Amino acid sequence: MMPLMGPVILSGFLTGLVSTFLLKPLVSFAWRRRKYMADAAAVRLTRDPDTLAQALRKIIVQGWTQLNAWTVHMAIAQSGPLGAGGLLGGSIVSIFPSTVRRYQALGRLGATLLPITEKRPWLPLPAAVLVGVLGTIAGGLMVVAVGLLMYLSAAISMLFTVPPLALVHLLLRWIGH
């Protein structure tokens, strides 16, 4: 059973990594695109871009909407400053485009835009640099750990596969003579 456990566990780990760092961001980008398309469809159906622009402006000025996690993917804007994504959450990319960018896109669709003062929860520059450096270090360590885990899995699989196969090979050669 040991030759099967290592590769199965390792493939599950690697599948989780691919899902987290490749598939979830791709789905998030698709959902971002859908938010822009929904805004354009609303403007086309109602022929009133100003109403949606006023709603987005109100969300920008007043802050974040407070929604349950399971309803966030249906919302007009993100549910908190860190952008918990609900059912589609957990991605390194938010499913929501910037509300300010959506507001500006409505301006290109004909909405009358009023100036806004956005409350941004940005990190100060030194903290952002520190987060970037720590993220890079963590990513490098992850690459090294994955490589070592692959090597270890292959070694364990060979340890429990090659000796029995060699024994069967010797037994078959002895019977054949």
Distance CA 107, CA 162 (A): 67
Work out the percent of the chain whose per-residue pLDDT is above 70. 75
Q: Give per-residue pLDDT as tens, 10-57.
A: 777 788 888 888 888 888 888 889 989 999 999 999 999 998 888 888
pLDDT, mean of residues 159-176: 90
CA distances from 166 to 39, 40, 44, 127, 173 (A): 66, 67, 72, 57, 10
Residue-level pLDDT at 83: 47
Question: Which backbone phi and psi does 114 adopt, to 5 degrees?
Answer: -100, 150
97 neighbors 35 (Cβ within 8 angstroms): yes
Write the burial class of residue 15 (CB in 10 Å: 0-12 exposed, 13-18 middle, 19+ buried).
exposed
